[in-house]
A and B are shown apart, each in its own frame.
Chain A
């Protein structure tokens, strides 16, 4: 997903957006009681990010900043609404035929590129054929390789033929569509001038980019839904997060993502709340402890279950996130239908954990407080990456919780590059604390299928289960929502029972936005999904030019 969706920058730490795909949902919803003609675009919305946008082409946007801008400038065939349901964007409607082997899209006829040229099916064909060309070097190619053929039927009808049914296709085809007439003669589209001065179909058109400083977008008065309520969208680069917070309070920027400390203490003052609104909703990402199945101690299911039962997730949430999180039990979005709520919530049970370890043969024979088996003490290395304070704090709490069981834990905090290279890449670790961000589609092939155990795959804990493999494959081919739900509930239960991870928590997303912006309605998709409906009342406008 990611690149195409209207991305709302969620930046908790420098490393979060490197470790996880950005997931932000910035999707406009058909008008909230407005009608065409009532819309006046006013004021400017100034946001900030720690890093500069890299390239304003959705095919290559692989960082939060580029994704955010691309989401406002381009549209895809589909998008997701406030409840994360798939709905049409450039496509008015579509038909899924032959059990998912063919998908036909009927396109909107009233869409124009920002340079005035009409949008047609040729643009769609060009975009996805460019992605599928290995010479392009599009990082997202794996989401499209099941496409057999793309046929333009008429200027407003296009047909995708798949080699085999692929349920996530509808979301993947939400990738931003780029204009054929500007790119068809480019040898390397990354080098085109339009990669830094994009021309799209979206609610905002590109205005200027001062390298290293800011990007300004202007409202597209001809946007096919309706003109956005905010006249300018400004993205500033502020690399230091302490400085970003000061900029927010002094009015230099209008929004940022608060961290738990800033939310609980720094912003909980009358002066802050007078000028700035804070929002709270569950972020689609979770933090976990992963156990290496190649490790002689941890490949024993009872040991993994015991380690999981020994962890008090609520205590971790309260201590580390200052309460700004929810317990997690499985690898799906908490608010989605695919998440099985019947899976036991906390699982915290120290007695059961102790019993499981006894069954697995671990006893404290010499009475020194540390368990032994076959003459060896139970020592565990728990690794995480440097630069993410949350994970380092989690490690400290877990160390103490495991110590109560008689396990000696050694914490290792390693710089990100070395961590990936020497721990994850070489599969040389015992337990790691990491996080995943969850795309809207529940397909989890790349993390949980045994095929992803190979070098470079993301199943780095080497989890392999035939039943889960089969279910994942079924889930990818199944288009019927009710059947899909059953499949993923079963995957959830299966994985929870075998405890390859200890799923710790989902954290809350805590954005702050200047009070003069109205029309913000938090939904499962976050707050940014209806950005084009936000507005500033005339008397509160700050930037009048």
Chain B
């Protein structure tokens, strides 16, 4: 097992390099460049100031040379400096990462805690009123564009009913009020963004857990358990659920990329100060170092998530062992 974990961890490195290479090249081939976007039609800024900028940041050199420079620094975890404000990319990302992780972790938790019970109940009472209602709700959840849902939430719950804040994470006056009130305020600000980001995930995962559960309920060991005279509760929650959970672990790992890419949109709508919005702004401004930094970090987080779900899978299912068999 230890050897397998090490191998999987090491595999992340070439994967990161490959992805970063493709990204770097595509970004440089795309029409436009940082100086034209930044200064393109500004009469106060001369062409010489622009070429000076290109020289300072090495943008006048061939793309492959630039990539080699980037890669060399990357191995020392140096992502270079942002074009927009000259700050080191890594410190920009680190100041934004906690907000993103807070939002993602909360969404993840909500997805798990809400979708699983929905799935189980739907499976157990297949064809019942709850199951049918949820089927409709889930299809609506799939069909709704999530950003539109976010705007609706802001409009009705935040603006019309004034139940939740319209946008932001921590209000500016938080430092002038007490610490306890501040923590409550943060939770208050989390509700709408978490709802919006988790909605699609809940829809998907409840569907998967429903079908996985239905499959498990039809297995012979469930029949055996019932025949042994176990309570229905024990049959469902212990015998059926444990087996039904296995494919769900993998699917949970696969919802991570969706959450991370979704953060680009939701953080912008909710004025959430996270990494996704940093990445979005960087893309709009052709801030290559920040785009690369955000992309590498998100890729790393995604690969890590998938890796962890594989490990969890092995831990949960005694039939699966990743050791190479000795003959």
**Residues of A bordering B, CB below 8 Å:** 1-2, 14, 18-21, 44, 46, 51-52, 54-55, 60, 62, 134, 137-143, 188, 190-191, 195-196, 208, 210-214, 216, 234, 236-240, 242-243, 246-247, 249-250, 252, 415-418, 420-422, 424-425, 434, 436, 439, 446-447, 454-458, 543, 545
Contact = CB atoms under 8 A, between A and B. Distances in A.
B44 A21 contact: yes
B133 interface: no
A250 B166 contact: yes
A213 B84 contact: no
A134 B273 contact: no
B167 interface: yes
Contacts of B47: 454-457
B49 A420 contact: no
Contacts of A140: 44-45, 49
B95 A236 contact: no
Contacts, number: 173
B226 interface: no
Contacts of A457: 47
A290 B6 CA distance: 62
A216 B176 CA distance: 12
A262 to B, nearest CB: 14
Interface in B150-172: 151, 154-155, 158-159, 162, 165-170, 172
A211 B273 contact: yes
B36 A237 contact: no
Given A211-B273, A424-B41, A54 B85 contact: yes
A252 B165 contact: yes
Given A188-B86, A246-B154, A439 B44 contact: yes
A437 B152 CA distance: 35
The 6 closest A-B pairs by CB, nearest first: A417-B32, A212-B273, A456-B47, A142-B46, A190-B86, A418-B31
Nearest to B280: A239
B63 to A, nearest CB: 16
Contacts of B38: 18, 62
Nearest to B34: A417
29 contacts: A18-B41, A44-B173, A54-B84, A137-B53, A137-B56, A139-B42, A139-B44, A141-B49, A142-B49, A190-B85, A196-B87, A212-B95, A212-B99, A213-B168, A213-B170, A214-B172, A234-B172, A236-B271, A240-B269, A243-B151, A243-B269, A250-B158, A252-B167, A415-B31, A420-B36, A446-B43, A446-B44, A446-B46, A543-B173
Contact of B48 (A142, A246, A543): A142
Nearest to A190: B86
Given A21-B42, A137-B56, A421-B33, A236 B49 contact: no
Interface of B: 30-33, 36-50, 52-53, 56, 84-87, 92, 95-96, 99, 151, 154-155, 158-159, 162, 165-170, 172-173, 175-177, 268-274, 277-278, 280-281, 284, 286
A233 to B, nearest CB: 11
A243 B166 contact: yes
Nearest to A17: B42
Contacts of A216: 172
Given A239-B268, A243-B167, A447 B39 contact: no
B50 A134 contact: no
A439 B40 CA distance: 17
Contacts of A195: 85-86
A191 B45 contact: no
B183 to A, nearest CB: 16
B37 A142 contact: no
B172 to A, nearest CB: 4
Contacts of B48: 141-142
A456 B50 contact: yes
A422 B271 contact: no
A15 to B, nearest CB: 10
B85 A55 contact: yes
Contacts of B85: 54-55, 60, 190, 195
Given A142-B45, A418-B31, A211 B159 contact: no
A208 B175 contact: yes
B158 A246 contact: yes
Given A242-B151, A421-B36, 16 more contacts: A18-B38, A20-B41, A54-B85, A55-B85, A62-B42, A214-B172, A238-B167, A240-B269, A240-B271, A252-B168, A417-B32, A420-B37, A421-B31, A424-B40, A447-B43, A545-B176
Given A54-B84, A240-B271, A62 B32 contact: no
Given A211-B96, A246-B159, A238 B43 contact: no
Contact of A425 (B36, B42, B52, B162): B36
Contacts of B52: 134, 137
A54 B287 CA distance: 12
B286 A139 contact: no
A439 B43 CA distance: 9
Given A247-B166, A545-B176, A418 B273 contact: no
A141 B271 CA distance: 34
Contacts of B42: 20-21, 62, 139
A243 B155 CA distance: 8
B271 A243 contact: yes
Nearest to B269: A240
Contact of A212 (B41, B45, B274): B274
Contact of A1 (B44, B86, B172, B270): B44
A1 B159 CA distance: 39
B170 A210 contact: yes
Given A142-B49, A422-B31, A19 B41 contact: yes
A420 B162 contact: no
A30 B89 CA distance: 43
A456 to B, nearest CB: 4
A240 B268 contact: yes
A250 B162 contact: yes
Contacts of A60: 85-86
B41 A434 contact: yes
Nearest to B268: A239
Nearest to B88: A191
B210 to A, nearest CB: 35
A208 B39 CA distance: 29
A18 B41 CA distance: 8
A456 B41 CA distance: 9
A316 to B, nearest CB: 21
